[in-house]
Chains A and B, each alone.
Chain A
Amino acid sequence: MSDATLEGPVLSADGKPLKQSLNQALRKQKIRALVLIAPLLVFVLVTFVAPIGSMLMRSVQNTAGTDYIPDLMPNVVAAIQAWDPSTGEAPPEEVYRAMAIDMASAFENKTHTQLGRRFNYEAPGISSLFRKSGRPASGWDIETDGPFKEKFLDIDSGWGNVEYWAAIKANSGYYTSSYFLAAFDAQRGVDGISMKEPDQRIYQKLMLRTLGLSLLITFCTLALGYPVAWLLADLPLRTSNLLLILVLLPFWTSLLVRTSAWKILLQEQGVINNFWIALGFTERLSLINNQLGVIIAMTHILLPFMILPLYSVMKTIPPSYLRAAKSLGASNWTAFWRVYFPQTTAGIGAGALLVFILAVGYFITPELVGGADGTFISNRIYFQFAVSGNWGLAAALGTLMLVVILILYYVYDKLVGVDNVKLG
């Protein structure tokens, strides 16, 4: 080495300092990697992330149909701010007059029933008022036909209900918290926010049921999957590869096929019940359209997701450890519990989290075999979205569920690493 290189920076072949050159190469590598990833990243952002994001926005947007409430009834929104619901008095004539104006234009644009539907989420019963009042209001002359309070009360005495007007006032902005309140089983009354009656707290109940059943299903898959994974890891490779097919075939078989198979097996006149009767029993078993059916079918469907990660962990544990423990005097149980089991916890964590995450979001199987008490929160979201059409509430419930799932996903990433997901 010459003196010069010792004093100055290390140079590379083209005369640039080596550090700079390495940095350049590194930057080049980074850019090349990003260029390769970019098309997919953009694709996923546009086709997957953006749709979910825009849907979640609906949980706070205060709209009826395509338009925001303040745009649909500007006069009412302006007039009602001065009114104080806590007085217990119905709003003054100005508010009714504003309602007459807005109602007439809403009827013209055929949005009055949509408005009714929007406020009906907050105050059940109000939807019929809007529907009844649209046509009469469109015939009133705003200058000469007052006072409008009486006219509205003539159509339906419900227009005197303070609760209804309070609901309109509370939801007169561009954004609303009412969908999240509903998702938490809370409500906003004349005197502030309160929880609903215990027997009306349906989402709490559904959320707990979803988590509880998912936990139970995760436990079932673990109880059934652990011995099988152990056996597979212990058998000679040739045999275990053959048996592994029995695990992988269900994994590759259509979810609908497996669900329909269970429907056929479990129903009252189905294969299992007929076999049961042939054994001499007289009572048929109720195996479907209840929680039991969901547990049986979903445990079956999710079992491979438990066995595969367990198997891949167990495969790496040398069988000599167990033998060593036993030769040192450990009983079978001690050898298993103190030596083997601790080494499999990583697999248990990976399998259990994956099964739990997937179970919480299940929709098809509970829908088809769950009956009334075996449905999950997903089924309710689908109902609010596709049947009832309360998109705001569906979005709020979806946001809550997504938060739960993302927390679990984060934990999974920390414990297992998302790049360690095994697929057969």
Chain B
Amino acid sequence: MKLKTTLMATGATLIAAAALAQTNMADSMTVVSWGGAYQNSQVKAYIEPYVANNPGLNVITDESSADAVTKLRAMSEAGNITWDIVDVVAADGLRLCDEGLAMEIDPDTMLADAPDGTPASEDFGNTLVGDCFIPQIVFSTTFGYRTDLLSEAPTTVCDVFDTEKFPGKRSLEKRPIGNLEWALICDGVGIDDVYETLETQEGVDRALAKLDTIKDDVIWWSAGAETPQLLADGEVVMGSTYNGRLFSAIVEQNQPIGMLWDWQMFDLDGWIIPAGLPEDRLARVLDFVKFATDTQRLADQAAYISYGPARASSAPLVGKHAELGVEMAPHMPTDPANAVNTFLFNFEWWASYRDDLDAQFQAWLLQ
């Protein structure tokens, strides 16, 4: 948490309480996200400016987004929601919405219009999925590789499955999402048939059999920052993660890492507000989310990490990196040079099949 206010919070509580009494907003807010470089970009672009406008507010950060669905289920069952706003991928947003764990939103009243007056619903366009999800970014899950430890650079995602040509460990996410799709693509299934194939048991077995061929060479990650760390330490020669994490390793930390954009998997990430928050906390969160998802703030975030803003109106405002001054556009997953082969991750499909495939994938992992 990059906030001096946290430290001053105890002292400032009295003053803050007095100031907030009129607006009736909570003076503390717990923001849950994914940790690492991504959470830093949110702190810089959203939270620090917001706290500057709202002195005395104590923002607590948590890094539990990867397990957000389960944790919210547990909190809801226990009747004690300690989170105020949670950053999740679209598929998790849909699941939480279905289960009544996330609050339904109305984009046009709760979110800011674009500067030219375009209503939020139009500005966000088709990134608004489900009734609860407040989109922030378009990101992709893709591969990075060590430029100095491999004799040649991998060119297709299927090189990940080629341990003879590219010996060494690789890191993959410890869940079926993405891995099963890539396995099928590299096993010869056509792009458009991937999800249809995965609906059958034979298709799942086929994908797992393909993953079996590299299972002994895989280190499984569960947090987005692990692959950049494993790459930097030379523990793996290639690994999947979110593209922005690789960007910070390559551009900010000058690590000898290259991007493999082939069949990168596009996905959306955004906020949900847990259902059933007390009035004062809800007022605080709604105020924050309106601020944090306006056109300028979404563009600001892209100055810290290479994710595309979810608003159409933010795109023209994306420029250079806030500290390093490098042009951000070539690092975006949507840049034409990077987006030759892209795979549209089907979060609707995953929301339906996640439980089934998770169980099978985890059992396979332990075999």
Contacts and interface: CB of A to CB of B under 8 A. Distances in A.
B311 interface: no
Nearest to A375: B366
Interface in B337-354: 351-354
B235 A114 contact: no
A245 interface: no
Contact of A269 (B233, B356, B359): B233
A391 B366 CA distance: 19
Contact of B70 (A289, A372, A380, A386): A386
Contact of B351 (A131, A202, A383): A131
B325 to A, nearest CB: 31
B70 A202 contact: no
A113 B358 contact: no
A65 B220 contact: no
A302 B360 CA distance: 35
Q: Is the interface of B mostly helix, strand, loop or mixed?
A: helix
Interface string B190-210: 000000000000000000000
A312 B224 CA distance: 48
Given A65-B77, A202-B363, A388-B70, A110 B98 contact: yes
B77 A289 contact: no
Interface in B199-256: 218-220, 222, 233-235
Contacts of B354: 127
Contacts of A125: 356
Nearest to B95: A113
A205 B73 CA distance: 29
B67 A387 contact: yes
Interface stretch (A115-123, A214-222, A236-244, A352-360): A115-123
Given A117-B355, A120-B359, A202 B367 contact: yes
Given A113-B98, A199-B367, A205-B366, A389 B219 contact: no
Contacts of B360: 124
A206 B366 CA distance: 8
A125 B200 CA distance: 10
A40 to B, nearest CB: 27
Contacts of A114: 99
Contacts of B219: 289, 371-372
A268 B99 CA distance: 44
A257 B234 CA distance: 23
A127 B363 contact: no
Report the interface size class on chain A. 35 or more
A383 B351 CA distance: 20
Interface string A116-158: 1100110011111001101000000000000000000000000
Contact of B353 (A111, A128, A202, A388): A128
A162 to B, nearest CB: 16
Contacts of B100: 109-110
Contacts of B352: 127-128, 131-132
A65 B73 contact: yes
A254 interface: no
Contacts of A124: 356, 359-360
A242 B148 CA distance: 48
A86 interface: no
Contact of A372 (B66, B73, B77, B218): B218
Interface centre among B76, B234, B235, B366 (most CB of A within 10 A): B366
A268 B233 contact: yes
A113 B99 contact: yes
Contacts of B235: 267-269, 289
A206 B362 CA distance: 13
A128 B71 contact: no
Report the interface size class on chain B. 20 to 34
Contact of A386 (B67, B353, B356): B67
B201 to A, nearest CB: 8
Interface string B54-82: 00000000000011011101101100000
A131 B98 CA distance: 8
B233 A388 contact: no
Contacts of A372: 218-220, 365
A267 B233 contact: yes
Interface in A232-262: none
Given A267-B233, A372-B218, A120 B71 contact: no
Contacts of B366: 202, 205-206, 380
A120 to B, nearest CB: 5
A121 B356 CA distance: 9
Contacts of A66: 77
Contacts of B365: 372
A332 interface: no
A194 interface: no
A315 to B, nearest CB: 45
Interface string B94-131: 01001110000000000000000000000000000000
Contact of A383 (B71, B77, B98, B362): B362
Given A128-B352, A199-B367, A389 B99 contact: no
A124 B205 CA distance: 14
A109 B366 CA distance: 36
A66 B76 CA distance: 9
Nearest to B220: A372
Contacts of B355: 116-117, 120, 127-128
Interface string A371-403: 110000000100100111101000000000000
A200 interface: yes
A128 B351 CA distance: 8
Contacts of A268: 233-235
Contacts of A117: 355
A150 B267 CA distance: 36
A120 B356 contact: yes
Contacts of B69: 389
B356 A127 contact: yes
B259 to A, nearest CB: 22
A268 B354 CA distance: 34
Contacts of B234: 268-269
Nearest to B71: A386
Contacts of A131: 98, 351-352
Nearest to A66: B77
B296 to A, nearest CB: 35
A136 to B, nearest CB: 14
23 contacts: A110-B99, A110-B100, A113-B95, A113-B99, A120-B356, A126-B356, A127-B352, A127-B353, A127-B356, A128-B355, A131-B98, A131-B351, A132-B352, A200-B367, A202-B366, A267-B235, A268-B233, A372-B219, A372-B220, A372-B365, A387-B66, A388-B359, A391-B74
Given A125-B356, A289-B219, A372-B365, 6 more contacts: A65-B76, A66-B77, A110-B98, A128-B355, A131-B98, A387-B67
Interface of A: 65-66, 109-114, 116-117, 120-121, 124-128, 131-132, 134, 199-200, 202, 205-206, 267-269, 289, 371-372, 380, 383, 386-389, 391
Q: Which 6 residue pairs are nearest across A and B when measured between Cβ atoms? A: A110-B100, A389-B70, A127-B355, A202-B366, A128-B352, A269-B234
